Structure 1
Amino acid sequence: MARRFSQFWTFLASDRLGWARLLAALIGVTIVSNWLQWPLKTRQAFPFFWVLVAIWGVWRLASWQRVEDWLGRVNLDDTGAWRTTRADRIRRLGPLVILCCGLEPLLRLSWELWLIGDLLRVAVSLSIAAGLLATMVSYAWRTWRSRVELRIDATGVFAPSWRRTYAWDEIAFAVQPSRSRELRLALTDEAAEAAGRGALLTVALPPTGLFPDEALAALRAFRPELPIRPWISNGVVLPIRGATDLPDVGKVETYG
């Protein structure tokens, strides 16, 4: 039961559900906004659509390889770990636009509610505005600071979503890359059972600036004999679309 709950929580916290969480937040904002503006004769309309279009446009632009190269595609620190790239930090700052666009209407709404004497809604509106401002400052600070996104060294492989370093003897093989830009590793049965999680480890590579072949090359730099195989589910080898050949071991020195 604990293992299933851990897997479910990992799924909910994954970056793949980022847009779902954003949509849920927008629905909540709409409900609260309608309640706050209920006594007013005229209601403010938040430009959700255009804000989302702007965020999507910036996200897509920062995802282009040319833009990544221009901003600095790889951000290696002194220890050889890959830290958050500038392009990924710009992508993550997208939700900050919504917070900024929501603060000014909240303050104006608080003033209008004050004029009609609705102190309850004034208190709620100002509380939300204060929380929004604190969230903006905290989010901007945490997002713009780079962190270690992937570390591959003699001790093993580390990613923040895994919350620990997996030693080389815990890794059975690397999964052959598919079309998605991510690194996938398969744990041994003993390591997966000891960690209380599934055998498949996945880390998104856009924050590192790496592509799957480069990540595999970095693995091979420290563990040349590490197998690279397709992922098998329920005894069936899943088809790999766009799979590439294994990287040349002689070319991996720059990724170590």
Structure 2
Amino acid sequence: MPRQFFVGGNFKMNPISRAQKKVIVNELNAADLDPNTEVVIAPPSLYLLPLKDIVRSDIKVSAQNCYCKTSGAYTGEISPVQLADAGVPYVIIGHSERRTLFHETSELVAQKTKAALDGSLSVILCVGETLQEREAEKTIQVVENQLRAVVTLLNESDWDRVVIAYEPVWAIGTGRVATAAQAQEVHAYIRQYLSTAVSPAVSENTRIIYGGSVTATNCKELSTQIDVDGFLVGGASLKPEFVDIINVKRN
């Protein structure tokens, strides 16, 4: 079966008020969205439950992060079990901002991924290289190392609930975007790696989405690439053009 197109909106530490949150949600609730595209939005944790209660039922919510432990003395953290108990189905793990600003290693990202899956969550697993790594032609090496840490901990059946987001760090929030050819090259490699490291079935069925300054202007060409199964959208997910991105595959 063809892989279902996936569009996620990572609100990051926005919006900064309840009023702004309501504006964003009202626009999504009123929009004519492609029913064949899975839509997931990730607000700040403070707004997760209120937003879940007011957003339309065909849009899922996601946490932006979780810890690798079920419970305990971990001030400021949220466990995957707590998210699942609250009815939150998704969590983003390993976003470049977590890796760079908060120094999360690939090993910790892998532990969080495994804990989230064991806690009945689905995971948007982020991988990607910095500008320096891209210029040093280490993109494939970096992405493979990030994935290998996760592959080591997961069972083959776990991959049914994993969406991989390739997000070149140099394109996140910079206005720069990987060309369609650059995105396809890395996505194809990820699929090839999954086939060898896990199984051909996992490779075929796992959705690999692109993130990095995705807009209504550049999403069309990116969406035509055979191994690009959707997007993880940052700043544009807070704007009306998010609807156009969601509907990019609509005929």
Query: Normalised by the size of structure 1, how large is the TM-score?
Result: 0.23
- Which has the larger share of helix? 1
